[in-house]
Amino acid sequence: MLICEKKSEVREQVNAWRRQGLSIGFVPTMGYLHEGHKSLMEAARRENDRVVVSIFVNPMQFGPTEDLESYPRDFDRDSALCEGVGVDLIFHPQPEEMYPEGFCSYVDMNGLTGELCGKSRPTHFRGVQTVVLKFFNIVRPDRAYFGQKDAQQLSVIRRMALDLDLGIEIVGCPIVREEDGLAKSSRNTYLNEEEHQAALMLSRSLAEGKTLIEDGERDAGKIKSAIADIIAKEPLAKIDYVDVVDFENIVPVEKISGTVLVAIAVYIGKTRLIDNFIHKEI
Ligand code: PAF
């Protein structure tokens, strides 16, 4: 497994693979890898000749009061996990390599980013799109893998790939959960035991929302209220949002139809956690 810190090293290796006609799968991450990331890498491993993983805590996607400094990092553990999955190359740049002096360009969009996480994190998706497009230009993958836990991010990246004719297949992979239902996240490491127990309210409330839809409820307002009522019972939880949106366009819906994303963001103490499910009307 190669570990590259420079864009030029990645380009050289990727060009060599391309000349041999090999396909490339790419998994962008911010490190502190867990089973969720592992499932993305395994999917990339199955579907491509070569697998590239980036590990980079991207400053551009953090707001001024967010957890950039304290975001967990453990490169040695991450690289061992990558090696175990059969990753071929880790790209681990320093911030100056991605954003050299004078950097002032970014990628943004008019739709999809104004709701859900975009409301409380207004510059977040601009940072995500910019870094992901840069990675795509460096790695030039055939396929790129994103987790459904960040469902809005998945929709945003799919839209960007379509709008900007990137010719990269964006593959969405299911949420991976702890045995107790908590969606895997690098930020779970911030939770103490009491907070971890409180955080189980996220998946439990969504399970209730799912049951309501499966039982025939079509009023998005009632589904949101049922979910919010359950979360409100947990004293350590503070709701950022509970919403039901059209999955493709991330626009709120009043009635359940087509493919909808039921998404929540909740503070447990100081830790902001997200979770969701997607319902496809058949
Ligand atoms: O999902 C993440 O970890 C990040 O948003 C990503 C896609 C690696 C971009 O920094």
Can you give the pLDDT at residue 235?
A: 97
Q: Is 53 in the pocket of ligand 1 (CB under 6 A)?
A: no
User: Going by C-beta distance under 8 Å and a sequence separation of 6 or more, which residues neighbour residue 16?
Assistant: none
Determine the Cα–Cα distance for residues 158 and 151; give it in Å rounded to an integer: 11
Q: Sorting pLDDT into bands at 50, 70 and 90, what band is 270?
A: very high
End-to-end C-alpha distance for the chain, whole angstroms: 44
Would you say residue 168 has pLDDT above 90?
Answer: yes
Can you give the pLDDT at residue 156?
A: 98
Q: Is 130 in the pocket of ligand 1 (CB under 6 A)?
A: no
Alpha helices in the chain (DSSP H): 7-19, 35-47, 75-85, 95-98, 117-120, 124-139, 151-163, 193-214, 220-232
R_g of the chain, CA atoms, integer Å: 19
34 CA → ligand 1 middle, Å: 14
User: Going by C-beta distance under 8 Å and a sequence separation of 6 or more, which residues neighbour residue 218?
Assistant: 255, 256, 257
Query: In b/e form, how buried is each residue of 37-74, taking b as 16+ CB within 10 angstroms?
Result: bbbbbbbbbeebebbbbbbbbbebbbeeeeeeeebeee
Helix (H, G, I), strand (E, B) or coil at 56: coil
Query: In b/e form, how buried is each residue of 178-211, taking b as 16+ CB within 10 angstroms?
Result: beeebbbbbbbebbeeebbebbebbbbbbeebee
Nearest CA to ligand 1 atom 5: 128
Mean residue pLDDT across the chain: 98
Looking at residue 97, its amino acid is E
Determine the Cα–Cα distance for residues 88 and 108; give it in Å rounded to an integer: 31
Q: Is 30 in the pocket of ligand 1 (CB under 6 A)?
A: yes
Average pLDDT over residues 249-268: 98
Question: What does the pLDDT look like over 233-254, one tens digit per residue?
Answer: 999 999 999 999 999 999 999 9
Average pLDDT over residues 252-279: 98
Average pLDDT over residues 69-77: 97
- Determine contact, residues 28/135, Cβ cutoff 8 Å: yes
Determine the Cα–Cα distance for residues 194 and 106; give it in Å rounded to an integer: 40
Question: What does the pLDDT look like over 82-100, one tens digit per residue?
Answer: 999 999 999 999 999 999 9
Residue to mutate (ligand 1; options 29, 68, 138; most atoms within 8 A of CB): 29
Q: Is 132 in the pocket of ligand 1 (CB under 6 A)?
A: yes
The neighbouring-strand residues paired with 243 are: 263
Would you say residue 282 has pLDDT above 90?
Answer: no
Give, as one character, the DSSP assignment of residue 188: G
Question: What does the pLDDT look like over 8-30, one tens digit per residue?
Answer: 999 999 999 999 999 999 999 99
Angle, helix 220-232 to helix 193-214, in steps of 10 degrees: 160
Question: What does the pLDDT look like over 126-166, one tens digit per residue?
Answer: 999 999 999 999 999 999 999 999 999 999 999 999 999 99
